[in-house]
Chains A and B, each alone.
Chain A
Amino acid sequence: MLEIPLITTENFITYALNGLSRGMIIFLVASGLSLIFGLIGLINFAHGAMLALGGYGTYVVIQATGNFWLGLVVSVLLVSLLGLALERKVLYWIYDEPLLGFLSTFGIGLVIEEALAVYFGSRSYTVQSPLSQSVEVLGVSYPSYRLFVILVGAAVALGVGLVLVKTRLGLEIHATANMQSTAEILGVDTARIYTITFVLGTALAALAGALTAPITSMYPTIGLDYITMAFLVIIVGGMGSFKGSFVVSMIVGQVIAFGWLVLSPTYVRILVFAAAMVFILYKPRGFFGKAEVHE
């Protein structure tokens, strides 16, 4: 028997905000994954490890300086640099081989996660939240840090979205993703576009890791928990569609935030995965997908 408790307005708002904050983290992970997949066709299994690195980086800087904001910036930068090195030195020459790309990023992700486990141990680390108070929004009191996460997510969505649609860089990314060799003969340095996109995607993962650290704490395999969900989000949203990953992340966040009212959360997760499986079969390009890194 399903039992749907009456939801008061305040509860409704709280749940919706829960969904938004969860959805934003998923979105940050998924959008990076989706950019990389849409552009390069690479299933980047190391993406989850980048998230973990972002989180641990933040943790380490906080331990050293006590400053979360510094940690956020430094770790995102460092992980982006690592992404740069990875793309330039390792990945670029296997772009034509999706299977090899998948396997090598799988291996690289494994190495990063295990290295974290060796260095920090497998247990989880609590990361002190920089904003511990609650604030009043729409008549409910809500953790200010989670609101911050929602705002950052929204800002990134808007910012990256605008770059993709309005700027020349966005145009070049679109062109490279859709017809790489044509972009080349129009004078686009597609190798550079690949690098920029990979680094951007990696930075988004690191940002997600840094942002989620104070909420969920940090452990080496945290990426795996997010990456499965993120893959499924980009399938439903359409591989490579930035808009798609945003919309679907928001939906998934809300489904989880409200789903527990009728079904235990793990079953909600199972349902979300099952829905994604059906999507892969019947609408592999997703809602928004034309394999376009655009809009």
Chain B
Amino acid sequence: MSELLSVEDLNAFYGDSQVLFDVSIGLGTNDVVGIFGRNGMGKTTLLNSLVNRIDRKTGTVTYRGQDVSAWSPHEIIREGIAYVPEEREIYPALSVRENLELAMTSDIDDDTREERIQNVFTQFERLGERRNQRGGTLSGGEQQMLAIGRALVTDPDLLLLDEPTEGLAPTIIDDVVEILESLVTGDRAVLIVEQNINRMLPLIDRGYMIQTGRIVEEGDSEHLSDEEIHDKYLTV
């Protein structure tokens, strides 16, 4: 397994309060890795730290052999990473199309752009129907689709997903899982943060369990489906 991303001894802070403690994880090309844990354990913070979207952190993040710990978010993103944030962060005043356009950097030629946008519209038909509607007026589920679509148009090598199924109706969740499955067959790596572990177990190669900012368990999906672990780290 060639290392695509590796994180060592990551500590993250909001102001004075520390949220992550000595977190180390690794991810290879073609890997699908999950991060699981209860509310407020630091999952989102971990993703944010990878792209430097956080006040302060210590530790190293290496991507494709380069130390990107001190890069600014857009520089890291432009290395071929796409991020689907927890809050979706759709631009309310921009149309669906403009939201998608925004994610593609200017070095992509017009034909490719168009093709990728059309791809998203086929994957999420609903978005195609709403292509000129303002992002802010989409339903929650539609916004989630758009957030994922916005990541897909960049044709990323590494996809970071923060609770991609949150707020989606069960049928849409099935769609999303399907799309993710089709994604991971390509030459891509995916890092998924989820509370809904059972949905994701079939998808992932490996996973980490996080508890108040510390990695407390690591293993393949079989290991993580263990009842005891669930009781200990997931049930509330």
Contacts and interface: CB of A to CB of B under 8 A. Distances in A.
A and B in direct contact, judged by CB atoms within 8 A: yes
Interface of A: 168, 171-172, 174-175, 178-179, 181-191, 290, 292, 294
A175 B92 CA distance: 10
A239 to B, nearest CB: 15
B106 A185 contact: no
A189 B73 CA distance: 8
Contact of B53 (A168, A184, A188): A184
Given A172-B102, A175-B102, A187 B91 contact: no
In terms of DSSP, what is the predominant structure of the interface of chain B?
loop
Given A184-B72, A184-B74, A187-B77, A179 B103 contact: no
Given A186-B150, A187-B78, A294 B93 contact: yes
Contacts, number: 59
Nearest to B93: A292
8 contacts: A168-B101, A171-B98, A175-B91, A178-B92, A183-B74, A185-B77, A185-B83, A186-B77
Nearest to A181: B53
A171 B102 contact: yes
A271 to B, nearest CB: 33
Contacts of A191: 72
Contacts of A294: 93
Contact of B89 (A168, A172, A179, A292): A179
B201 to A, nearest CB: 27
Contact of B51 (A179, A185, A290): A185
Contacts of A179: 89, 91
B85 interface: yes
B72 A187 contact: no
Contact of A184 (B77, B94, B101, B106): B77
A11 to B, nearest CB: 42
Closest 4 CB pairs of A and B: A184-B73, A182-B89, A187-B77, A185-B83
In terms of DSSP, what is the predominant structure of the interface of chain A?
helix
Nearest to A188: B74
Nearest to A172: B102
Given A174-B94, A178-B91, A168 B103 contact: no
Given A168-B101, A175-B102, A179-B89, A185 B73 contact: yes
Given A171-B98, A178-B91, A186-B102, 17 more contacts: A174-B91, A179-B89, A181-B73, A182-B85, A184-B51, A184-B72, A184-B77, A185-B51, A185-B74, A185-B77, A186-B74, A186-B77, A187-B74, A187-B77, A188-B74, A189-B75, A290-B93
Contacts of A174: 91, 93-94
Contacts of B72: 184, 189, 191
Given A185-B73, A185-B85, A171 B101 contact: yes
Interface string B3-31: 00000000000000000000000000000
Contacts of A178: 91-93
A179 B98 CA distance: 15
Interface string B97-140: 01001110110000000000000000000000000000000000
A189 B85 CA distance: 18
A171 B92 CA distance: 13
Contacts of B51: 184-185
Contacts of B92: 178
B93 A189 contact: no
Most buried by A among B53, B91, B94: B91
Nearest to A292: B93
A162 to B, nearest CB: 15
B211 interface: no
B74 A190 contact: yes
Contacts of B75: 189
Contacts of A175: 91, 94, 102
B93 A187 contact: no
B56 to A, nearest CB: 14
Contacts of B78: 187
Contacts of A182: 85, 89, 91
A280 B154 CA distance: 42
A175 B73 CA distance: 15
